[in-house]
Amino acid sequence: MMLIEETAIADAALPVDQFKAHLRLGTGFAEGSVQDEVLKGFLRAAFSAIEARTGKVLIERDFSLSLNGWREQTGEVLPVAPVTKIDGVTLTDAQGVDSKVAAAEYRLEKDSQRPRLRPRGSTLPKIAKGGSVKIAFAAGMAANWGNLPADLGQAVLLLAAHYYEYRDETALGAGCMPFGVTSLIQRYRTVRFGAGVAR
């Protein structure tokens, strides 16, 4: 399995001004934007850490998932949530020849924890021996920062501020995710039920 983030969070979608206010950085100076690139880096790191911890994509963007075989012929669980749409499914044979699967053959089963690619018939299209399948999809909780749930937005700012304050610290204790962040994201974490988690 290989998950690729096809599009990154755009610079314009990063809440740089809110982050500056959160850090209580001075405003109105001629060099007020000198730290913007550094702040964007900490915001991106915070987004990535929270997405990794929760399994949820915060700001909508495009992904692709490549597989050598289906885990379940009746439906493939997608590795991130929430998935908003399937853009395409492409089969590749052992010789590297691609063939698009008609959109009428599959559907998206939306779920906040485990969205699935489902067949419209009884099973997903057969993957040739030595071949693979690529699923292109979009996922995200919000199209932009303003539509993100308030608790997740606060968690991003808190974690980015933590990274900013401890940017020179290498000790494990100071670099760990702060309790305030873990408590804010707790309800978004993927629920696991043991052996049947993929079903």
Distance CA 57, CA 24 (A): 28
Q: Are strands 116-119 and 76-77 parallel, antiparallel or unpaired?
A: antiparallel
Helix (H, G, I), strand (E, B) or coil at 126: coil
Judge whether 86 and 137 are in contact, CB under 8 Å. Answer: yes
CB-based contacts of 179: which residues, under 8 Å, 6+ apart?
none
* Mean per-residue pLDDT of the chain: 89
Q: What is the predicted pLDDT for the residue at 122?
A: 93
Helix (H, G, I), strand (E, B) or coil at 89: strand
Higher pLDDT, 48 or 175: 48
Question: Is the pLDDT confidence value at 190 over 90?
Answer: no
Higher pLDDT, 17 or 194: 17
Q: What is the predicted pLDDT for the residue at 146?
A: 93
Question: Is the pLDDT confidence value at 50 over 80?
Answer: yes
Distance CA 30, CA 186 (A): 40
Q: What is the predicted pLDDT for the residue at 177?
A: 79
Q: Which residue has the tokens 């379940």?
A: 72
Q: Where are the alpha helices (DSSP H) in 59-122?
A: none
For 14-18, 77-81, 190-194, which range has the lowest pLDDT when averaged over its residues? 190-194
Q: What is the predicted pLDDT for the residue at 64?
A: 98
Span 85-125, pLDDT tens digits? 999 999 999 999 999 999 999 999 999 999 999 999 999 99
Distance CA 64, CA 76 (A): 13
Instruction: Look up residue 64 and give its DSSP letter.
Output: E
Span 7-37, pLDDT tens digits? 999 999 999 999 999 998 765 544 557 688 9
